[in-house]
């Protein structure tokens, strides 16, 4: 049993690594597309900021560990977690191969729900649908922590993208009307030069927000695995040098520091590996971007991610940056958006949770047939 726990922890790190190169493409696509940074420079910046972001909170990790699955209805065994990770990993690799910026967050959530449902023998009560406690930020369940953010975060990214662009244009137009030095600074050459520099900061902000939100999801999965293993006695056979595996506190919401540090480092390593297919889709195929556009999109998306992470909502980096880019493109010219590409992305969003969940469900059923679960 201890070996299985270690296999699950390793699989979680594999997912985190894949998340790094899959979703990092989303976070740095704009800064590469505007040619402010080379792909190599952008990846290194994102890796560093992912690392810093991952070390600055655990609210999302606690949601994954204890806010979605009812452990009174279904025992979350190591096999369940392994299948959940398998569903997320397989779907991530399929969409990466196709160059589709689907959500690693929702792939993981879908995998967890599918595996838990299979383990509960189709008892839907295994999933926490809605658990309100008065303070909406502390509510549990798929409605509050997944469905609501899945709808509102893309909308917020889109509207913020439009809003930031409108504000920036208003400032530039005001400078042009003022005349003199301000008017010269409002010329396209100076605007591009300024936002080329400013985009360095917005790209760093985006990398931080990505690490702050996305890295925590794997932290939650590992914490959930170790809590279940502790409850079933699987860790009793662990030798002294593996004592760190025992959960640090009394429940699922305790995220040990070694989990935080290791997930941060693994995501940063995955980031350094890169993911250029998705960069091409986001940065070049949806709409032509200039530095001011990239700045607006990154700032809008990172703000959505940071606010969501504060409230423990596992929001998709993919959704927020994609819709922020769409918002920027819409503000520039609604007809400039390439609807065929957007349609492919939207279909990937719609399919992610059921597809990853279906894969995880099938994997656990197969494990049961083989006598592994």
Task: Give tens-digit pLDDT for 272-319.
Answer: 776 555 555 555 555 677 899 989 999 999 999 999 888 888 888 878
Per-residue model confidence as pLDDT tens digits over 30-57: 787 778 888 778 888 888 898 898 888 7
Cβ–Cβ under 8 Å, residues 360 and 110:
yes
Q: Is residue 88's pLDDT more than 60?
A: yes
Could you read off the pLDDT of 189-214 as tens digits, one per residue? 999 999 989 999 999 999 899 888 88
Kindly report the average pLDDT of the chain as a whole number.
85
Alpha helices in the chain (DSSP H): 2-33, 39-54, 59-66, 78-97, 104-119, 142, 148-178, 180-185, 188-232, 257-273, 276-280, 291-310, 317-332, 339-369
Half-sphere exposure of 83 (CA within 13 A, CB side): 26
DSSP three-state, residue 90 = helix
φ and ψ of 306, to 5 deg: -65, -45
Name the band, by pLDDT with cuts 50, 70 and 90, for residue 325: confident
Report d(CA 33, CA 288) in Å as an integer: 8
Query: Could you tell me if 173 and 1 are in contact, meaning their C-beta atoms sit under 8 angstroms apart?
Result: no
Q: CA dihedral defined by 17, 106, 141, 11, rounded to 10 degrees?
A: -30
Looking at residue 250, its pLDDT comes to 46
Residues 6+ apart with CB under 8 A from 339: none
In the predicted model, what is the mean pLDDT of residues 89-113?
85
**Among 210, 255, 220, which Cα is nearest to 63's?**
220
pTM reported for the whole predicted model: 0.84
Task: State mean pLDDT over 156-161.
Answer: 94
Return the number of other C-beta atoms located less than 10 Å from residue 337's C-beta. Answer: 18
Nearest to 81 by CA among 370, 270, 365, 360: 360
The tokens for 149 are 């953010």
Q: Quick one: average pLDDT of 264-273?
A: 83
Which of 71, 96, 93, 94 lies closest to 81 in space, CA to CA? 71
Q: In angstroms, rounded to a whole number, what is the distance separating the alpha carbons of residues 127 and 68?
A: 6
Cα–Cα dist 264/268, whole Å: 6
- Report the percentage of the chain scoring pLDDT > 70: 91
For residue range 252-263, list pLDDT tens digits in order. Answer: 456 888 998 898
Q: Is the pLDDT of residue 123 over 90?
A: yes
- For residue 147, what are the contacts with CB-CB under 8 A and spacing of at least 6? none
Which whole number is the average pLDDT over 335-360?
83
Q: What is the distance between the alpha carbons of residues 71 and 239, in angstroms, rounded to a whole number?
A: 27
């Amino acid at each position: 049993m201890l070996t299985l726990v270690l296999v699950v922890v390793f699989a979680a790190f594999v997912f985190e690594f894949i998340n790094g190169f899959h979703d990092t493409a989303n976070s740095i696509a704009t800064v590469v597309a505007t040619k402010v940074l080379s792909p190599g420079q952008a990846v290194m910046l994102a890796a560093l900021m992912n690392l810093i972001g991952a070390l600055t909170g655990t609210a999302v990790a606690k949601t994954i560990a204890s806010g979605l699955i009812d452990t009174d209805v279904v025992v979350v065994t190591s096999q369940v977690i392994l299948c959940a990770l398998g569903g997320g990993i397989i779907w991530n690799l399929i969409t990466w191969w196709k160059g589709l910026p689907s959500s690693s967050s929702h792939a993981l959530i879908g995998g967890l729900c599918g595996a838990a449902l299979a383990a509960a023998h189709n008892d839907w009560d295994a999933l926490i649908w809605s658990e309100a406690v008065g303070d909406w930020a502390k509510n549990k369940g798929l409605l509050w922590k997944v469905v609501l953010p899945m709808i509102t975060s893309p909308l917020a990214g889109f509207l913020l993208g439009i809003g930031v662009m409108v504000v920036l244009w208003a400032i530039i137009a005001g400078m042009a009307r003022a005349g003199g030095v301000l008017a010269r600074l409002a010329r396209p050459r100076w605007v591009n030069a300024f936002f080329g520099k400013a985009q360095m900061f917005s790209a760093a902000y985006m990398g931080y927000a990505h690490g702050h939100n996305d890295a925590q999801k794997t932290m939650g999965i590992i914490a959930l695995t170790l809590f279940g293993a502790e409850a079933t006695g699987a860790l009793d056979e662990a030798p002294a040098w593996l004592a760190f595996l025992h959960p640090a506190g009394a429940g699922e919401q305790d995220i040990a520091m070694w989990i935080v540090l290791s997930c941060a480092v693994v995501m940063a390593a995955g980031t350094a590996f890169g993911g250029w297919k998705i960069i091409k889709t986001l940065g070049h195929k949806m709409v032509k971007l200039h530095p001011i556009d990239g700045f607006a999109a990154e700032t809008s998306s990172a703000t959505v991610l940071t606010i969501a992470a504060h409230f423990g909502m596992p929001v998709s980096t993919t959704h927020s940056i994609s819709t922020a880019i769409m918002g920027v493109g819409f503000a520039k010219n609604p007809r400039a958006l390439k609807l065929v590409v957007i349609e492919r992305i939207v279909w990937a969003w719609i399919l992610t949770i059921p597809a990853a969940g279906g894969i995880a469900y099938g994997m656990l059923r197969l494990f049961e047939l083989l006598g592994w679960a």
